Amino acid sequence: MVRLQKHYSGKKVLLTGHTGFKGSWMSEWLLKIGAEVVGVGLEPNTTPSLFEQLDLKSRMEHHILDIRDADALIALVEQIQPDIVFHLAAQPLVRYSYENPVETFSVNVMGSVNLMEGVHRLKKRCEVVMVTTDKCYENCEQEAPYSEGDPMGGHDPYSASKGAAELVITSYRRSFFDPAKYGQTHSVSIASARAGNVIGGGDWALDRILPDCMRTLAKGETISVRNAFATRPWQHVLEPIGGYLLLAMMLAQVADQPEKRASICSGFNFGPDLGSNRPVGDLVEKVLSCWPGEWEDGTDPNAPHEAGLLNLNIEKAESLLGWRPIWDFDAAIEQTVDWYKCMQAETATAQEKTREQISEYSELFYNEI
């Protein structure tokens, strides 16, 4: 804990997407290690929302702003003068992207451009982690896991928008944030982070398998599974967040080491061990072992295309950052279901349970790093 606490304590951290599921977990962890967190995002779009359950609005600087508003976002970045930036704001849903492709591309591509333009205008040192997704790769439905050097792509608008965002990040790095010119023409270190399918307590979004399961079980109904054989790299939300925190810290540590800068100012996969690359059906069966119920096959042959097979190679993060997964497939689901069951039974508040799980996870995480 000492390494992260020492690095982040007192640092001004700009976090976009702080009102979302992953952003709320990250806000809580950053506050725990002493960061001065400034959040930029939209109003929570679910009821309940983890952001409100954790009462984050009263505990951090909070700005409601659409990242598609370039002038407002650039002005806010200049006003905040962040030491570190984590960009999590996104339109994150595959099926929603089929219905709203223009919004998806606008948020995920131009929103990223607007943020990087704001950072580009800073006249100070800043470490930036741009979060995309494992779905940014051109998915050939191959068994071999995707590595950071594989081509960007995407069948659906969501995946394509994230692949496009990665290309934009690379362009900004080459054009304005060249690691070889650090300290000469700029003082920005930028990396991208590609995480797998995250699960965890407090995700109340529609059309995601875990929150759909939790809502259905709470009502005593049968879970309908639309794609039981699709394989995903399941991981608890704290796994990639720990990776993002390590990555930003490493960007700072290599800033004055020219021989290491280029390797860290790059893309990183944060996924689970291969044993956690499991079909949706396995996920649901494990959920039901923790919270008894039933499920049925709800596959729709006319449903929009979704990837059937997707694995990530995480050797780069392991070797260069010292990051590795902590909670395996079973533990990730057990922790997630336990969070929702506590809310259902009212045996703990969201604040209590979230902080408890961060403490439990981070104790193991800090021992690993």
Check which CATH number belongs to the domain holding 91 and give it.
3.40.50.720
Neighbours of 143 (CB within 10 A): 8
User: Are 261 and 255 a contacting pair, CB within 8 Å?
Assistant: yes
Instruction: Give the pLDDT score at 1.
Output: 47
Instruction: Give the pLDDT score at 196.
Output: 77
Residue ranges of the alpha helices (H) in 157-203?
157-175
Residue 124 domain flag: yes
Q: Name the nearest CA neighbour of 321 among 362, 270, 272.
A: 270
Q: What is the pTM (predicted TM-score) of this model?
A: 0.95
Instruction: Give the pLDDT score at 132.
Output: 96
Q: Name the nearest CA neighbour of 165 among 137, 186, 125.
A: 137
Residue 139 domain flag: yes
Q: Name the nearest CA neighbour of 263 among 241, 242, 247.
A: 247
Residue 265 domain flag: yes
Residue 357 domain flag: no
pLDDT (tens digit, 9 = 90+) per residue, 327-347? 999 999 999 999 999 999 999
- Ranges of beta strands (E only) in 32-125 are 36-41, 61-64, 84-87
pLDDT (tens digit, 9 = 90+) per residue, 157-204? 999 999 999 999 999 999 999 999 999 999 999 999 999 789 999 999
User: Are 332 and 276 a contacting pair, CB within 8 Å?
Assistant: yes
Q: Name the nearest CA neighbour of 310 among 337, 332, 278.
A: 278
Residue with structure tokens 């223009």?
102
Instruction: Give the pLDDT score at 304.
Output: 64
Residue 218 domain flag: no
Instruction: Give the pLDDT score at 302.
Output: 61
Residue 52 domain flag: yes
Burial of 298-308, coded b for 16+ CB within 10 Å and e otherwise, reads eeeeeeeebbe
Q: Quick one: how far is CA 9 from the chain centroid?
A: 22
- Check residue 152 and report its DSSP letter: B
Range of the domain at 186: 2-201+235-273+308-326
Residue 96 domain flag: yes
pLDDT tens for the chain, 369 residues long, are 458 889 999 999 999 999 999 999 999 999 999 999 999 999 999 999 999 999 999 999 999 999 999 999 999 999 999 999 999 999 998 889 999 999 999 999 999 999 999 999 999 999 999 999 999 999 887 778 999 999 999 889 999 999 999 999 999 999 999 999 999 999 999 999 999 789 999 999 988 899 999 999 999 999 999 888 888 889 999 999 999 999 999 999 999 999 999 999 999 999 998 888 899 999 999 999 999 999 998 876 665 655 557 789 999 999 999 999 999 999 999 999 999 999 999 999 999 999 999 999 999 988 776
- The rounded distance, in Å, linking the Cα atoms of 342 and 320 is 38
The domain total for the chain is 1
- The rounded distance, in Å, linking the Cα atoms of 52 and 48 is 7
Instruction: Give the pLDDT score at 301.
Output: 62
Residue 297 domain flag: no
Mean pLDDT, the chain, integer: 94
- The rounded distance, in Å, linking the Cα atoms of 96 and 94 is 6
Give me the amino acid identity at 276. Answer: S
Residue 245 region, left (φ>0) first, then alpha (ψ -120 to 50), else beta?
alpha
Polymer length in residues for the chain: 369
- The rounded distance, in Å, linking the Cα atoms of 215 and 25 is 20
